[in-house]
Chains A and B, each alone.
Chain A
Amino acid sequence: MKFKTLIILIMLLLAVIGAHPAFADNYVIDEKLFKEIESNLMCTDGCGMYLKTCDNQTAQQMRVEIREKMGEGMNPEQIYGFMMSIYGEEVMAAPPASIPFNIVAWVTPFLAMLGGGLVIYVALDKWVFIKKTEGNELDVDQADMAEYEEIVDEEIKKYF
């Protein structure tokens, strides 16, 4: 009984020690998650480079910080929040959609395309003079073949 209690106590002690940040390096970091976090951040020394592609000292330091925070059990959102609290919103490689104004960045291109699509729809509706394609239709093969055959006919006239 005493032996079992001792084992449990040792295991608990190890768990507490292991959870301390000072021992974080001993943790196996999820490299895939690390790369994902890294690929959403910028290097902050003014080089203008994406963290994933930057190898300068600031970038190395940032990687150490990310690993530390991962070791502390932070999830990606918490790590981004931590980074933004130190370096500002600029540290994110894309405008974080958690800030309402930044949603404008994400949706505007698609809204513009939607607008463009509507313009095309309205224009086609105005321009197309045969509304029904069934019945009185031109076969696509015939249309394309006509073009090939025109070229060939021209050559036949010339060379044969």
Chain B
Amino acid sequence: MKKGILKRAVGFTMACVMAISFVGCGGNAESGTASAGGGSAASTAAGGQKVIKFFHRFPDEPYNSFIEGKLHEYEKSHPDIKFDIMSAQNQDYKEKIKVVVGGDDTPDIFFSWAGDFTERFIRENLILDLTPYMDKDPEWKNSLLANQMSLYTNKDGMIYGIPFRLDCKQFYYNTELFQKNGIEVPKTFDDLLAACAKLKAAGVTPIAYGNSEPWAGLHYIGTLNQIFVPDDVRAKDYEPTTGEFTDPGYAQAMQYYQKLLPYMTENPDGVKPDMARSMFAGGQAAIYYGELIEIPYIKADGPDLKFGMFKFPQVAGAKGNQEILTGAPEGFVISSKTKYPQECVDFLKWFLGKDVGTEQCQKIGWFNAAKDTTKGLTDQSLIDGYKVVSEATQMSAWLDNALYSTVCKEYLEEVSNLTNGSVSPQEAMKKIQGKAKEAQTLVKTGKSSQ
């Protein structure tokens, strides 16, 4: 009895599919446009309050409390403003923001990375151009670090975002372990390899490294790409409409990455990046390639650790640009669909300005792009780190945010494979080239359809 029904049920489902799929095709084109009409992003709440939707990516503590505390503080001093807060963690955020941007309920203010991550929204006219607001208020413009603002400016000169936290990637090293083994701070890549060999011989894990979330590996590759591939070639390849990745420098970058692998934590693909940092903080490894924003974490996990920092060492004769400091600020943008552009700009001016910035670096150890925020800061390693990033002449967007999403995914997978030893640099680059080619056509069909 049941069997007969199950069978008929399956048969029915199949028959329906055949029939209605055609209807589905017909109705589909309309539904595509239906979601496009979203004009109003914010709504007015009862009592004439202006509701501003705010979407950030720091749901973990203490950052969440800091951000939400500041929002509530602003609500108190501006009774007409009410924030509607959303948040999601890094990877989730990347997925979610694409879902909500452009819909009827686009957040008014949201976190967005510099680079193609935001520029693909700009291509769809979804981001408010901040240039006129800055031109109107030169005092505001001058209060922000120019070298950081340049990363939130696109090639047409449009300023589209304001940094919330500055960041850069450097090597951190355990000064005691270096001294004990008679190692000098490496200046060239060969120095680094020699230092690693010495440490390994002494029974110390030279570099703490976790790549279970492969953006960690992509940070190495991003830096090495800058070293081995000339600026103009990289710019062309990172742009999805023209990306090819045929320059031999890309494979070379991977080869240099491979040279470091023997000196890294075992099985990095199974180790979480933050676990690697904990190992460095606990003195179990001598070197860690880390971000500026990680300094408070290192201190929390290893309160007694003495550490210094050095820039990614140089490779003699490489064809790329060795002056770039890897890293980009992360910040907020405003939706072009917001009902309250002026209110949003006013809020960001305060939220990402000097006063909040001064409090921010003391409370959570992160800097924003306002100048003169370090007054009263006592933590020497934070001050050292700030110096490096605020004085950098050239910086670069994180590789995973610079690339088109499918190319980025392929890059992440290949770096992970490379780390596992299951693919050669040449094979890896071949696959990336394939995805880049496909991305070119994807971007074009996407455009032609509008």
A binds B: no
**Residues of chain B at the chain A interface (Cβ within 8 Å):** none
